């Protein structure tokens, strides 16, 4: 690959002149610049960003830490981040922790060694302490959806998960459900996640407001996968007195719940109402289309990325207000005892991608 020196030799100029010419900096004669640029083209010159980074101490890369890139939720997240980053000339390293603390730590240290300019950290795999200790002091980090109390982690950008949970409770209560089960996230390694606790809290608040208690015996756990949602639902269906509705704290688990119903020959919302959380792309297309809490991933991650880029640029940034959520009512919920096959038109959201 041609280097600056090659061009310098070919044009009879010096390396620094070539550098200036190609960077569009400095004060060069039109003619010289043109000649050099032409030569660079001819030689198929491609700057070596590695070398540049070594001297500028900037890599124009950021890291995005997620738990599971195969989850469509993170696919949407990744897309938004990538778009914004790209426009600013940044590339992004997607780091998949697979919810494995050790692996995640290793990957993070590697990112540090690769000198990323900043990080967007989403919770799930790694504790904040781990992230902080694995990265270098002063590295800009935007905490995305951590929803920590206090302003411990900053800058943080979050969505109002409590509000989301609350909306679910209001909806279900309005339909007259009194026996509602919860399938929430919990793993052996990480335990309960704050984000999911907040969803539950909002839900619980809603119940309390309507004058009903939260029935702890109807809470089950999963690891945010379809499989785990299914298992949990199967367990709930085997109860002597099963619930009339299930609220899963993410869409993937809600999908699992629907799968479990189908296996048992049951239908939502006739035999059981089902609510999810996240509103992933396919939620509107399920059988039946899923009632779920919508998180505007694009808006959200765009904000996060913009914030990070500003922090990298040296601006003093502060955490913006929580983004609101909204309930998208589709066909997986109805009052208990609603007859089957009351086919409503699924206009809402269809084909939106």
Partner DNA sequence: CTGAAAGCGCTAACAA
Partner DNA sequence: TTGTTAGCGCTTTCAG
Bridge partners for 92 per DSSP: 62
- The smaller minimum CB distance to its own copies, of residues 70 and 216, is found at 70
Q: Pick from 37, 115, 319, 322: which binds its own copies (CB under 8 A)?
A: 115
Tokens of 46: 């491609």
Q: Enter the tokens of residue 269.
A: 């919302």
Q: How many CB atoms lie within 10 A of CB 112?
A: 15
Residues that bind DNA (CB under 7 A): 1, 3-5, 12-17, 19-20, 22-23, 25-29, 31-33, 47-48, 51-52, 54-57
State the minimum distance, in angstroms, from the CB of residue 192 to DNA.
39
- Assess 351 for contact with its own copies (CB under 8 A): yes
With respect to DNA, which residue has the nearer C-beta, 114 or 152? 114
Cβ neighbours for 20, distance < 8 A, ≥ 6 positions apart: 26, 28
Instruction: Give CA angle at 121 (141, 103), nearest 5°.
Output: 120
**Residue 4 binding result from its own copies, DNA, none, given CB thresholds of 5 to 8 Å by partner type:** DNA
Number of residues that bind its own copies (CB under 8 A): 71
**194-210 vs 161-174: helix axis angle to the nearest 10?**
40
CA dist 7 and 242 (Å) reads 76
Instruction: List the x/- string, 37-66, binding to its own copies by CB under 8 A.
Output: -------x-xxxxxx-xx----x-------
* Dihedral angle sign, alpha carbons of residues 274, 279, 280, 283: positive
- Closest approach, Cβ 163 to its own copies, in A, equals 25
221 binds its own copies (CB under 8 A): no
Nearest alpha-carbon partner for 217 in 180, 177, 178: 180
Cβ atoms within 10 A of the Cβ of 24, count?
9
> How far is C-alpha 100 from the geometric centre of its chain's CA atoms?
17
Nearer to DNA, 48 or 342 (CB): 48
Q: Which is nearer to DNA, 27 or 240 (CB)?
A: 27
Query: Which does residue 114 bind out of DNA, its own copies, none, counting CB within 5 to 8 angstroms by kind?
Result: its own copies
Among 4, 33, 39, 74, binds its own copies (CB under 8 A): 74
Q: Which does 160 bind (CB under 5 to 8 A by kind): DNA, its own copies, none?
A: none
Site residues for its own copies, window 255-284 (CB under 8 A)?
Answer: 255-256, 258-260, 262-263, 265, 281-282, 284
Radius of gyration in angstroms for the set of CA atoms belonging to the chain, rounded to a whole number = 26
Q: Closer CB to DNA, residue 9 or residue 302? A: 9
Which residue's structure tokens are 């207000």?
Answer: 321
Q: Least Å distance between CB 324 and its own copies?
A: 22
Residues 307-346 that bind its own copies (CB under 8 A): 341, 343, 345-346
- Phi and psi for 228 in degrees, rounded to 5? -70, -35
């Amino acid at each position: 690959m041609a280097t600056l020196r090659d061009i310098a030799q070919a044009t009879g100029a010096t390396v620094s002149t070539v550098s200036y010419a190609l960077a569009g900096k400095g004060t060069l004669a039109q003619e010289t610049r043109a000649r050099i640029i032409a030569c660079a083209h001819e030689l198929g010159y491609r700057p070596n960003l590695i070398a540049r980074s070594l001297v500028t101490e900037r890599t124009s890369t950021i890291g995005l830490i997620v738990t599971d890139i195969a989850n469509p939720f993170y696919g949407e997240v990744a897309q938004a981040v990538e778009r914004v980053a790209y426009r600013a000339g940044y590339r992004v390293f997607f780091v998949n922790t697979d919810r494995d603390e050790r692996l995640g730590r290793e990957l993070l240290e590697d990112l540090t060694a690769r000198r990323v300019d900043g990080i967007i950290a989403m919770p799930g795999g790694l504790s904040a302490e781990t992230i902080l200790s694995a990265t270098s002091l002063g590295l800009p980090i935007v905490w995305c959806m951590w929803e920590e109390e206090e302003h411990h982690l900053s800058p943080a950008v979050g969505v109002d998960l409590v509000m989301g949970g609350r909306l679910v409770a209001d909806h279900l209560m309005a339909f007259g459900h009194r026996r509602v089960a919860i399938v929430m996230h919990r793993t052996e390694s990480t335990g309960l996640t704050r984000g999911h606790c907040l969803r539950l809290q909002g839900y619980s608040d809603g119940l309390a407001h309507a004058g009903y208690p939260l029935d702890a015996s109807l809470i089950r756990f999963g690891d945010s996968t379809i499989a785990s949602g299914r298992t949990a639902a199967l367990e709930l269906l085997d109860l002597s007195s099963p619930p009339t509705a299930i609220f899963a704290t993410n869409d993937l688990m809600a999908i699992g719940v629907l799968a479990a119903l189908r296996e048992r020959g049951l239908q939502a919302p006739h035999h059981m109402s089902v609510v999810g959380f996240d509103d992933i792309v396919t939620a509107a297309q399920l059988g039946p289309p899923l009632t779920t809490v919508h998180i505007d991933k694009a808006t959200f991650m765009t904000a996060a990325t913009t914030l990070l880029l500003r922090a990298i640029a040296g601006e003093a940034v502060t955490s913006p207000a929580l983004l609101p959520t909204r309930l998208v009512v589709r066909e997986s919920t109805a009052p208990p005892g609603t007859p089957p096959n009351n086919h409503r038109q699924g206009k809402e959201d269809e084909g939106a991608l």
